[in-house]
Amino acid sequence: MLLARSAELYSRAEALIPAGVSSPVRAFRKVGGTPVFFRSASGAHAVDEDGNRYLDFCMAWGPLILGHAHPRVIEAVQRAVTDGLAFGTAHRGEGELAERVLAAYPYAKLVRFVVSGTEAVATAVRLARGSNGRRRILKFDGCYHGHNDSLMVKAGSGVITQGLADSAGVSAQVAADTLVLPLGDVAALEQAFGEQGKDIAAAIIEPLPANNGLLRQSREYLQKLRDLTRANGTVLIFDEVITGFRFGYHGYDKLLGIEPDLTTLGKIVGGGLPVAAVLGRRELMAQLAPLGPVYQAGTMAGNPVALAAGIATLTELAAGKVYAHLETLGKHLDAAVAKHPARKVAQFPRVGSIVWPYFDVSGVVPHAASAIPSQPVNDYHGRYRGWLAQGVYLPPSAYEVCFLSAAHTTADLDRLLDVLAS
């Protein structure tokens, strides 16, 4: 495979941008070789700067549930652009998208739009602290919540661990305010709240962790978290940046039957443009300025062009046909794996339209980040360039999941399995 143009562009970028990229995993450090520079994309396919065509299962890391450059999204964005790129004022698109979002999360009464998932999480954490005057945050090993200082921590050797910074530049004092627990450990959860529950401002979790493998948690575990947070006056935040609108016109909270106090959204809600949101119970959201004392603002928050993409995307999803197609794809994949040679090299745990190619055939699928052995990771990274050469683009990290979209077909899934088995 020729990547001469990508290599040329990457060499130029390296002189101007740290590692030549705007987000670390794009540098291909885990899989080696020249990062691929995409030039264009449509439907389920992308074309790089050298003219190579790929069947894409990364889908911009999840936002493109309709596929690349969906006609109705493009049309909505083009219409919005003719009216202006930014206003810096209130506009009708904010209310239109807000109505669509809140219809999917009945427990939530108010929503505030921001630009990124990281910003949504930062706002949710600040709201929690502002509402109860506490300092400490509880998170879970293997859940990613953006690059906010207080959440850039990892678990140490103890069951309940004071946060240790997982990034330089995060002060020890900030990290110490974050408690980290292993996923799925009920005893650790009970111990944490038994010892420090009245000091914990918020507990934040991906209800379906999908940033460090697909680490499905039991409903009983998540209900225990809900019960303990409620009993201790702790704000429960569901980070649904990945899962929001992924499994139906609702959040993952509906599938669980568990309501948090705040939800953070991103990815799908922006339809491929930078939109994120924090939403939740009225008494919490009403603390945001200018109604309350918790400040949040942003020049590009509620950008009319970006919100137009979100409105168009959610309008398509509300019709229901997309979700029916995604479920058909998922069932086809399950059936195909059962009789395909790919089952001899990998497992394919799936929740709806999220699939994790896990290169281990032991039959055991990890439910905690600490339980992922190195061999499946090494196998994935070692095989990656071969898949790329065959025209299949997956996330350049074994810890990331794949996303099915409305643009994929059953033939595309068969092709994926053929390539992964080769």
Phi (first) and psi of residue 357, to 5 degrees: -70, 105
Cα 140 vs. chain centroid, distance in angstroms?
Answer: 15
380: annotated active-site residue: no
What is the distance between the terminal CA atoms of the chain, rounded to a whole angstrom? 17
Residue type, 380: Y
Q: Do 312 and 74 form a contact (C-beta atoms < 8 A)?
A: no
Q: Is 10 a catalytic residue?
A: no
SS3 214: coil
In 3-state terms, what secondary structure has residue 205?
strand
322, containing H or E segment: helix 321-338
Contact 96, 313 (CB under 8 A): no
Residues 124, 204: Cα–Cα separation, whole Å: 9
- Give yes or no: 399 in active site: no
3-state helix, strand, coil in the chain (%, to 5): 40, 15, 40
Per annotation, catalytic residue among 10, 144, 252, 380? 144
Out of 267, 323, 358, 412, the active site residue is 267
Residue 157: CB partners within 8 Å, gap ≥ 6?
none
Phi, psi of 402, deg, nearest 5:
-105, 150
Catalytic choice (56, 141, 177, 239): 239
Q: What is the 3-state secondary structure (H, E, C) of 203-260?
A: EEECCCCCCCCCCCCCHHHHHHHHHHHHHCCCEEEEECCCCCCCCCCCCHHHHHCCCC
Give the catalytic positions in this structure.
144, 239, 267
